[in-house]
Amino acid sequence: INYSIFEALKGVSRTMKECNKYCILLFDEIALDPHLDYNQHADGAEGVQNSGIQASAKIATHAQINYVNYVNYVNYDKQDRELLLTEDARGTVVLLKFFDDLFDGVNGSTKMDMRGKKLRTSVPTVGESCHIEFWQSALPVLESMYVINDKGQKIVVPCFKNWQRTLNGLMLLREKINLCGLTQMKTRRLNQDPLENFFGK
């Protein structure tokens, strides 16, 4: 992970109010075939390791995409306005957060919240659960989702329906596991494909 990003965040956070410090960092990394190209427009080499501040002489073997999601609101008083999210991006932020939570909710494995991601924990089979609360709130969202095809028509793709079946199935499975005397359900240890096939029938 790019060291410069964290140093910049630390520096900026020293002068921020506490309520402005909450954010989500998303990182995505892809492998690259090592290569070196000349960019005539920029008059420089492409394909070298570059932190965004300076390039090194080493050939890059992977690329990392960084995205900052300000949870509360975006502070527009900063000087680097191009680094801030615009109001137009709010819908994308909400959608990314929803799917991040959705994937976390089916990948829980730890008993305690270690990284501020409570949905990545195992699901308790008795009592209240943030998982059940989220899954129940996610069902109408998934029910309302559609994509627009190239003709401008609204299409409901099967994955949205299958996600609903999966969440309903997990809630039912939680009840059955409780009847067996188990106190935790680690969703990450479930093989999702058979579950999706079973509940999708």
Q: Of 71, 128, 67, 131, give the one whose Cα is nearest residue 101.
A: 131
Q: Would you say 127 and 183 are in contact if contact means Cβ atoms under 8 Å apart?
A: no
- For residue 27, which phi and psi values (nearest 5 degrees)? -125, 135
- Using a 10 angstrom Cβ sphere, with 0-12 exposed, 13-18 middle and 19 or more buried, the burial of residue 118 is middle
Query: Cβ distance 119 to 126 under 8 Å?
Result: no
pLDDT of residue 70: 45
Distance CA 54, CA 159 (A): 42
Given this model, what pLDDT does residue 201 score? 53
The separation between CA 2 and the C-alpha centre of its own chain, rounded to angstroms, equals 18
Q: How is residue 86 annotated by DSSP? A: P
**What CA–CA distance (Å, rounded) separates 44 from 21?**
37
Helix (H, G, I), strand (E, B), or coil: what is residue 197? helix
pLDDT tens for the chain, residues 1 to 201: 456 766 777 787 788 776 666 555 555 444 445 555 666 776 766 665 555 555 565 655 444 444 444 444 444 444 455 545 667 777 888 888 898 899 888 888 888 776 778 888 999 999 999 999 999 999 999 999 998 988 889 998 888 888 999 899 999 999 998 998 889 998 888 866 665 666 655
SS3 for 70? Answer: strand
Determine the pLDDT at residue 132: 95
Q: Pairing state of beta strands 147-148 and 154-155?
A: antiparallel
- Listed by start position, the domains of the chain span 3-85, 91-199
What contacts 19, CB < 8 A, 6 or more positions away?
Answer: 72
pLDDT at 115: 72
Q: Where are the alpha helices (DSSP H) in 83-157?
A: 90-105, 130-144
**Residue 71 DSSP class:** S
pLDDT at position 193: 64
Rg of the chain over Cα atoms, rounded to whole angstroms, equals: 22
pLDDT score, position 123: 92
